[in-house]
Amino acid sequence: MLAILKRIPGQIAPAYGAFNKQCYNIAQFHVDAPCSRYYAEKIARGPLKRHYGRNQIEKLHNRGPLPHDPEAKSPLPMPEYRPKNAWCQKRALFGQNDYIDILGDGSLHPTDTLYDVPLWLRGFKGNEFQVLLRQKRLFGHSMQEWNPTRFDQIDKRIKLLYRRLNFHRSQDFFKK
């Protein structure tokens, strides 16, 4: 840089501004002082703490109901224990249809008792790709008309799963 400043005549140097000798001082490029100060501060802080594991975590006072105040005269109040009603309708009838295929007369299939599952999914067994294909096949036309955003999301997911299932498998998978 000093070589460039020497080549420029005195009359032209002020016009360039950036190459003016008064703009640059060699002391501005001196970086030893901050580095040594940084290093001294780093050494003063001590070794770098790593592996914050179970042994380095402060020991918490874990007796009594939490949050716990060690200076408290009595433990914090806790809500009164109220046992759940074991014979309410939901708990009493839980699992009543588990053995209906064995104990019943054969007229009712266990998948017919899955009341919380949509009708088009009852008794269906398959992966996500097959479920989405089934949904698109059954509701595709109405979904395109009434819920086009959801239809596009399902279509995108089907394309992604198709690529993943067919092209991201080793060929040994299909040779069995």
CB 99 within 8 A of CB 109: no
pLDDT one-digit tens code per residue, 104-142:
787 888 888 888 899 899 989 999 999 999 999 999 999
Asked whether residue 53 is assigned to any structural domain, the reply reads no
Of the chain, the percentage scoring pLDDT greater than 90 comes to 31
Number of separate domains in the chain: 3
Compute the mean pLDDT over every residue in the chain, rounded to the nearest whole number: 76
Domain of 39, in residue numbers: 2-45
Residue 174 or residue 147, greater confidence? 147
Q: Is the pLDDT of residue 28 over 80?
A: no
**Would you state the pLDDT for residue 52?**
62
Cα(163)–Cα(131) distance, integer angstroms = 16
The DSSP annotation for the chain comes to -HHHHHHS-TTTHHHHSTT-TTT--GGGG--HHHHHHHHHHHHHH-SPP----TTTSPPP--SSSSS--TT-SSPPP-PPP----TTSHHHHTTTTTTTHHHHS-SSS-GGGG-TTS-GGGTT----HHHHHHHHHHHHHHHHHHH-HHHHHHHHHHHHHHHHHHHHSS-GGGGG-
Asked whether residue 28 is assigned to any structural domain, the reply reads yes
pLDDT one-digit tens code per residue, 43-55:
888 887 776 665 5
**Would you state the pLDDT for residue 55?**
58
Asked whether residue 144 is assigned to any structural domain, the reply reads yes
Asked whether residue 27 is assigned to any structural domain, the reply reads yes
pLDDT one-digit tens code per residue, 136-164:
999 999 999 999 999 999 999 999 999 99
Asked whether residue 163 is assigned to any structural domain, the reply reads yes
Asked whether residue 79 is assigned to any structural domain, the reply reads no
Asked whether residue 60 is assigned to any structural domain, the reply reads no
Cα(164)–Cα(169) distance, integer angstroms = 8
CB 5 within 8 A of CB 13: yes
CB 155 within 8 A of CB 136: yes
Asked whether residue 11 is assigned to any structural domain, the reply reads yes
